[in-house]
Amino acid sequence: MRLILTAAALATIPLAAIAQDDPIRNTIEARQGFYKMLAINMGTLAGMAKGDIEYDETGASLAAANIEALAGYDLPSLFLEGSASGEVDGTAALPDIWEDMDDFRAKFDGLREAAAGASTAVTGGAGNVGPVVGKLGGACKACHDDYREKG
């Protein structure tokens, strides 16, 4: 019985390996997870800036630190050739990204610059959160305008 169970368990391994070995699907899932984490932390800061979420200095600083950490990741490396909208389903990444990867990278550098120091900038009161959200949102938008499918 034990032998049979072991064989059955082993038989499932190749299928799982195939699913994880699709580099295009992996890269799309990874960058979407990245954006989701970014959006969750932006949501916390934007909520505090608007007064929808009660300001709490530690919470604000942690959310901003998360954004700084995310901005330190080399996100553009997840944009593999062949993972554009129109080539595969389930992505809003416009083909223009690959037409000018240097500019795409420059846009991401813009987020990194906007995020620098954010965890300190949001301390000291709810009134300090809005300007940080504005700066970060501007960097998000600059890239979305050119490189994310509308709609």
- Interface region with ligand ASC, contact rule CB under 6 A, candidates 16-24, 52-60, 120-128, 134-142: 134-142
- 25's tokens: 């699907």
Give yes or no for residue 130 binding ligand ASC (CB under 6 A).
no
Give yes or no for residue 39 binding ligand ASC (CB under 6 A).
yes
Q: Which of 42, 84, 111, 118 binds ligand ASC (CB under 6 A)?
A: 42
For residues 39 and 101, which CB has a smaller minimum distance to ligand ASC in the complex?
39
Which residues are part of a known binding site? 140, 143-144
- Cα separation values, 40 from 32, 45, 60, 66, 138, Å: 12, 9, 12, 10, 17
- Interface region with ligand ASC, contact rule CB under 6 A, candidates 10-18, 39-47, 81-89, 124-132: 39-47
Which residues are part of a known binding site for heme c? 140, 143-144
Q: Which residues of 125-143 are buried (b: 16+ CB within 10 A; e: fewer)?
A: ebebbeebbebbeebbeeb
For residues 59 and 137, which CB has a smaller minimum distance to ligand ASC in the complex?
137
C-alpha to C-alpha distance for 80 and 36, rounded to whole angstroms: 19
SS3 75: helix
Q: How far is the CB of 114 from ligand ASC (least distance, A)?
A: 11
C-alpha to C-alpha distance for 44 and 60, rounded to whole angstroms: 7
- Of 107, 79, 77, the C-alpha closest to 91 is 79
C-alpha to C-alpha distance for 59 and 61, rounded to whole angstroms: 5
Give yes or no for residue 40 binding ligand ASC (CB under 6 A).
no
Q: Which of 56, 96, 125, 141 binds ligand ASC (CB under 6 A)?
A: 141
Give yes or no for residue 137 binding ligand ASC (CB under 6 A).
yes
What residues line the site for ligand ASC (CB under 6 A)?
39, 42, 46, 137, 140-141
